[in-house]
Amino acid sequence: MSIIFEERFAAHPKDVKKYDTAQLRENFLIEKVMEADQIRLVYSHYDRYISGGAVPATAPLELTAIDPMKAAYFCERRELGIINVGAKGSVIVDGVKYSVDFKEALYIGKGAKQITFKSESASEPARFYLNSTPAHKELPNRHITLKDANVLQMGSQLTSNERQINQLLISKVVETCQLQMGMTELRPGSVWNTMPAHTHSRRMEVYFYFNVPEGQAVCHFMGQPQETRHIWMQNEQAVISPNWSIHSAAGTSNYIFIWGMAGENMDYTDMDVVQPNQLR
């Protein structure tokens, strides 16, 4: 098993204004996140954020450091957040086994040396979505279920954005250094997420869309509020959102997405809201 990874560099918003569709997708879309018997990672130079997936189908997968990190092991200077979007599996961290079911999360703190992913069934493997950020101190590992989550009910059917936000890796639930993660589920009949849109120059963000029905798609909106762009996305794809960019989407059906954030401010409500009639 080898870890498949790529490196993405930061882009200035003035440059992004000139990007065509292919350039937008090349710089911000993570087209393939999950692949059987592989760990796939993208190392972004926005806040040194790593996102990716691990699908241990026929054999366990071990997470090791990749070259851009210049580290002896993956969590030598990093923390790691994991959310399982597949069948039941487990994560073994330095000999301690954590069973992680569908929609459950695991936080792994700085200093964990050996991290291995396993599935209970090869025919129905776990699908671990991974986010990682630099960490300044060691914190305890923690398994988080939906019962542990801080849950917010947002939006309305009238505005097609009725949704449940499950805050999994935030300060109200578990202590982290800077990583925050959660999962937003849109109600049937609702298609808009994160509307009204917003930016937060103190943090960047990555969205991972899943549970998108076959034949359907999600149109993700990005860019500065007065210079928006869009990227059409399929099931189990992710998109990098710079700190200067909005991050919102509308789907041709309802769906679920995982948001992950990193930066200097841990306040979830720290955002600069942009009303729909202000977008261009």
Binding-site residues for Zn(2+): 198, 200, 205, 247
CB 156 within 8 A of CB 163: no
Concatenating the DSSP letter of every residue in 67-107 gives: GGG--SSTTSSEEEEEEE-SS-EEEEETTEEEEE-TT-EEE
Q: Enumerate the known binding-site residues.
A: 198, 200, 205, 247
Q: Distance between CA 129 and CA 22 in Å, rounded?
A: 25
The encoded tokens of residue 201 equal 């120059």
The encoded tokens of residue 30 equal 């993570």
Q: Distance between CA 39 and CA 53 in Å, rounded?
A: 6
Select from 145, 206, 138, 136 the least CA-distant residue to 173: 145
- State how far the alpha carbon of 167 is from the alpha carbons of 19, 114, 151, 159, in Å: 33, 27, 6, 22
